[in-house]
Amino acid sequence: MFGEPVEALSVFYGKETKPASWELSPFPMGKQVNGRPMPQWEDLSQWMKVTMATVVSDEWELLTFNVNLHPDLEAELVANGDVRGKLSERVRKHVTRSLGAGREYFFVIEGHSNWTGSQTHLHVHGALAARDGESLEMIEDVLCKAAGHDMRGRGRPDRAARSKWFQLMQVAYPNYLFKFTLRRDPRLDEKRLVMSRAMTQAARDFWNDIARPDLG
């Protein structure tokens, strides 16, 4: 799959050699280990959906990012309510305007510090599928504008955004994204994941290839 040789009825995703502790799984699966049918996409947890999105993104260059919301934008979104919905729309508009429509990306909105665990400014952790010719700096600029920086006279602090090209799929990555989603934050609803339609479609198609109901 994706041009890499695989063993019969098995698959492994990753840019490096398979770690010794990893085992190959049947592909497609059809049934769970307990014999029950595989769950449908709609029944998967947000954690599992992001995991599928990350795995299928091996098809592209995936840029992971952390972006802090500008304090003025955070205050505006919180005052108006529906932070997730309005921020989702801002990111969609800026990504579409600068990078084109139908881009694959996801992010989780967070309001607690990774260092202290205490409540802090709102920020997002996520990833976006890059195309040829798109640099790290170019994508950061787009995301920073979506987060309220460099607009209406607002500056951009040095730590407004950090990004890095994704290397190897590990469960530590989705764990990191969802580490504070169960912690109460009066500014946010329980659902804090945003996934673009294009990314959702790609991840759903991949899951349906794995969990083929005709093999159940």
Tell me which residue of 73, 192, 60 sits closest to 139, measured CA to CA.
60
Q: What was the pLDDT predicted at 23? A: 60
Q: Which pLDDT tens digit goes with each residue over 4-53?
A: 433 333 344 444 455 565 566 666 676 777 878 888 899 999 999 999 99
At 113, list the tokens. Answer: 């510090």
Q: What was the pLDDT predicted at 211? A: 83
92-96, 132-136, 174-178 — which is least confidently predicted?
Answer: 174-178
Residue type for 160, please? Answer: A
Q: Which pLDDT tens digit goes with each residue over 62-88?
A: 999 999 999 999 999 999 989 999 999
pTM of this prediction? 0.82
Q: Which pLDDT tens digit goes with each residue over 101-127?
A: 999 999 999 999 888 889 999 999 999
Neighbours of 188 (CB within 10 A): 18
210 or 216, which is more confident: 210
Residues in contact with 125: Cβ distance below 8 Å, sequence separation at least 6, in sequence order? 64, 65, 66, 107, 108, 110, 176, 177
Neighbours of 121 (CB within 10 A): 13
CA distances from residue 2 to 12, 80, 113, 124 in whole angstroms, order as listed: 11, 44, 37, 29
Could you give the domains of the chain? 46-215 (3.40.1310)
Residue 54 in 3-state DSSP? helix
- In terms of DSSP bridges, do strands 161-165 and 61-68 run parallel, antiparallel, or are they unpaired? antiparallel
What is the Cα–Cα distance from 49 to 202, expressed in whole angstroms?
11
pLDDT over 70 at 204, yes or no: yes
